[in-house]
Amino acid sequence: MTQLLSGRAFADYVLGYEHTAFRLESRERYNESEEADHVRRFLAGEPDYAWNDEWAEMIRRRTRSGQRMMRVRVVSEPHSDYTRFGLDLARVNVAAGEDIRYLPRDRAAGLDLPSYDFWLIDSSRLGILRFGDDDVLLGAEIITDPAEIVRHCYWRDVAWHYAIPFADYCG
23 φ, ψ (degrees, to nearest 5): -130, 130
Q: What is the mean pLDDT of residues 37-66?
A: 96
Domain 7-170 CATH assignment equals 3.30.870: yes
User: Which of 34-38, 76-80, 131-135 reaches the highest mean pLDDT?
Assistant: 76-80
Angle (CA) 82 116 87, round 5°: 25
Scanning the chain, the segments in alpha helix (DSSP H) are 7-15, 33-43, 53-64, 81-96, 105-108, 146-162, 166-170
Long-range CB contact pairs, 150-154, < 8 A, 24+: 152/114, 152/118, 152/120, 152/126, 153/120, 153/123
Rounded distance between C-alpha atoms, residue 90 and residue 165, angstroms: 11
pLDDT(2) > 70: no
pLDDT(1) > 70: no
The full set of domain ranges for the chain reads: 7-170
Confidence of residue 110 (pLDDT cuts 50, 70, 90): very high
Mean pLDDT rounded to a whole number for the chain: 95
Rounded distance between C-alpha atoms, residue 115 and residue 101, angstroms: 17
**pLDDT score of 3:** 77
Q: For 63, which DSSP code?
A: H
Which one, of 48, 41, 39, lies nearest residue 81 by Cα?
A: 39
Task: Say which residues have a Cβ less than 8 Å from residue 82's Cβ, sequence separation at least 6.
Answer: 28, 29, 30, 39
pLDDT(79) > 90: yes
**pLDDT score of 143:** 96
Confidence of residue 34 (pLDDT cuts 50, 70, 90): confident
pLDDT(36) > 90: no
Q: What is the mean pLDDT of residues 153-161?
A: 98
Q: In what order do the strands lie in the sheet with 118-121?
A: 137-143, 125-131, 118-121, 20-25, 68-75, 99-104, 164-165
pLDDT(100) > 90: yes
